[in-house]
Amino acid sequence: MAAHQARFKIGVCQLAVGQEKKENLRKAREMIFRAAAAGAKVAVLPEMFNCPYQASLFPVFAEEFPGGPSLEMLSETARCLRIYVVGGSIPERAGERVYNTSFIFGPDGKLLGRHRKVHLFDVDLPGGVRVRESSTLSPGDEVTVLNTELGPVGVAVCYDIRFPELFRLMALQGARVIFVPAAFNLTTGPAHWEITFRVRAVDNQVYVVGASPARDAGAAYVAYGHSLVVDPWGEVLAAAGEGEEIIYAEIDPERTGEVRGRLPLLKHRRTDLYQLKSREPFIGDQG
């Protein structure tokens, strides 16, 4: 386990996403290169980084694994730079279905795993924001925790963060950092963005990383921006503004153990009164 305790730097790429996939990929690649040049061992992209966030466009921009241009770019860039790349999310086509999927690549360029968004965003919000992801997307059905040389990490996508059970399951399965590509809007963002990320971090005593697209006031769906990194105590370590930028933070795996040692929430759960069920096994002592 000692090899997993080294601190490492992450770069969260708040990308401005436009109508042209090739341009989105070019900018994403350039930002990943900038993050790596600044010392990041992990680069994180936003939700739907290769296409506008519009349900009707998801099937148009969808790619299959392996072979899609977005996925080839992520793999090649991770291999070239010898870093981990959390590939935000893209529309993934699998047979007749399309998913909102985050692909994660290791420093060798190989796919470590993927997370298909479990909870679809079907809402009618104040201000006229109406979204029906289920009109073109299918939900995933897996809790995603990946073992890496930096330690175990969890991955979720946007609306997933509003479901605390999912994050508790990731923590119980060993995740000490959870990456969340997400595109909150101008209604949900000011109200819930920071507080939700901080609460998920505090509840589970893990690092939680939110990667948003940059804000485009002229888009059909306007993302909130304000990408952030929260530590296991709920402190915001880094936060972006509205525009295109990269934020950086240091992840200290020892910090999770320190917080859990002083405030042992997971040990104090009353599993004689309540339990979570999962198809995946929990991992021993979570203190």
Q: Give me the active site residues, please.
A: 47, 117, 158
Q: Which residues of 217-244 are buried (b: 16+ CB within 10 A; e: fewer)?
A: eebebbbbbbbbbbbbebeebbbbebeb
Whole-number Å distance between alpha carbons of 287 and 270:
15
Q: What is the CA radius of gyration of the chain?
A: 18
Whole-number Å distance between alpha carbons of 230 and 27:
25
Count of CB atoms within 10 A of residue 12's CB? 31
Residue 217 CB contacts under 8 Å (≥ 6 apart), including other chains: none
- Please check whether residue 196 is in contact with residue 158, taking contact to mean a CB–CB distance below 8 angstroms: no
